[in-house]
Amino acid sequence: MTSPSTQFATSRRMGIYEPVHQVSMWDESFKADTSPTTGVSSIVEMDAKYDKSEETSHGSLGHSRKYDQEANKPVEKVIRRLAQNREAARKSRLRKKAYVQQLETSRLKLTQIEQELERARQQGMYIGGTLDTGHLGLSGTGNSGVTTFEMEYGHWVEEQNRQIHELRIALQSHIADLELRILVDSGMNHYNDLFRMKATCAKADVFYLMSGMWRTSTERFFLWLGGFRPSELLKVLTPQLDPLTEQQMVAVCNLQHSSQQAEDALSQGMDKLQQILAETLVSDPSGGYMSHMATAMGKLEALVSFVNQADHLRQQTLQQMSRILTTRQAARGLLALGDYFQRLRALSSLWAARPREPA
């Protein structure tokens, strides 16, 4: 026979503590009253109490089961929601994969079109000799490499304008040199990005890059091998950097002289290339016309090297100036350089919008 304490623990685990406790009390009272005088009415009364308590027990159990079912509903909703989220994520990945594949297919089609246009250009050169490649899209936005460069350069100009504004505020507020150095390094890296972009564009269409069509008309007026002349720019910027120490002045003059010598060497190389190319085109095509054109095409490949060397000279000049100057002077130099290009672009806009005499 189980003890009352055991019954209590068991009944608690089963969630029916109160009815069993009543049964235990009834059992004890029954045992205590064992005299023959115990009436039937007492037993009947206790049986009625037991029946009532049993009904209460069944009611409590039913209520407990109902509560458990209600409690399980939020869990089922969470599980269902997680499953829906997983399915949505799977569909999103499939859509992204399809989009990437579509872009890759479009890129391959664009490459195929460019190759076909290149073949048409070559055929036009040796068949009719009058085919203008400009309308074929081999220059300008028809070339994917050029289109990418134009977009990147547009963002580059916007970022340069923002950096100029930030430099101007920093110099006016007299911030510490350590903070100013961060802005200077950021400005130098920004020009490095431009040279990297131009090197990629030169491979796509070197003639487009050298024509300066990506710059404004006034900027093209000062164009040299797809950019600015470092020596000429030093002449413009040096007065903006005063006062310079005597040692700095000597270093700037030496840098300007060496830049001028390198520019002259590149210009002479370009002149020589033009002469060789002209002689190649007018010479007798003894090896066949296509072989003759292939030789001329090989000569033109040297243009990419010339443009890259010119940009390398520009990059080295900027870096040397940054080493010669103090942090604050370098910041002023970058600000003056940015202002110079901004004014050239503004001058182009004013020139284009100028009033014209009626015809």
Which pLDDT score, from 0 to 100, does residue 258 have?
97
Which pLDDT score, from 0 to 100, does residue 196 have?
96
Using an 8 Å Cβ cutoff, are 182 and 199 in contact?
no
CA atoms within 13 A on the CB side of 61: 13
Instruction: Say what the pTM is.
Output: 0.60
Which pLDDT score, from 0 to 100, does residue 109 have?
67
Same domain for 115 and 194, yes or no, is no
Give tens-digit pLDDT for 28-81.
443 444 443 444 344 334 444 444 444 444 444 454 555 555 555 667 777 877
Same domain for 212 and 249, yes or no, is yes
Same domain for 122 and 150, yes or no, is no
The whole-angstrom separation of Cα 21 and Cα 7 is 8
Residue 273 lies in a domain: yes
Residue 24 lies in a domain: no
Same domain for 182 and 283, yes or no, is yes
Number of helices (H), then strands (E), in the chain = 11, 0
Range of the domain at 225: 144-352
Question: Phi and psi for 147 in degrees, rounded to 5?
Answer: -60, -45
Please list the ranges in the chain whose pLDDT falls under 50.
1-61, 63, 124-141
Domain count of the chain? 2
Same domain for 314 and 230, yes or no, is yes
The whole-angstrom separation of Cα 17 and Cα 3 is 15
Same domain for 100 and 153, yes or no, is no
User: Amino acid identity of 159?
Assistant: E
Give tens-digit pLDDT for 229-269.
999 999 989 998 989 999 999 999 999 999 999 999 999 99
Residue 135 lies in a domain: no
Residue 164 lies in a domain: yes
Residue 59 lies in a domain: no
Residue 250 lies in a domain: yes
Same domain for 215 and 84, yes or no, is no
Cβ within 8 Å of residue 204, ≥6 positions away: 143, 144, 145, 146, 149
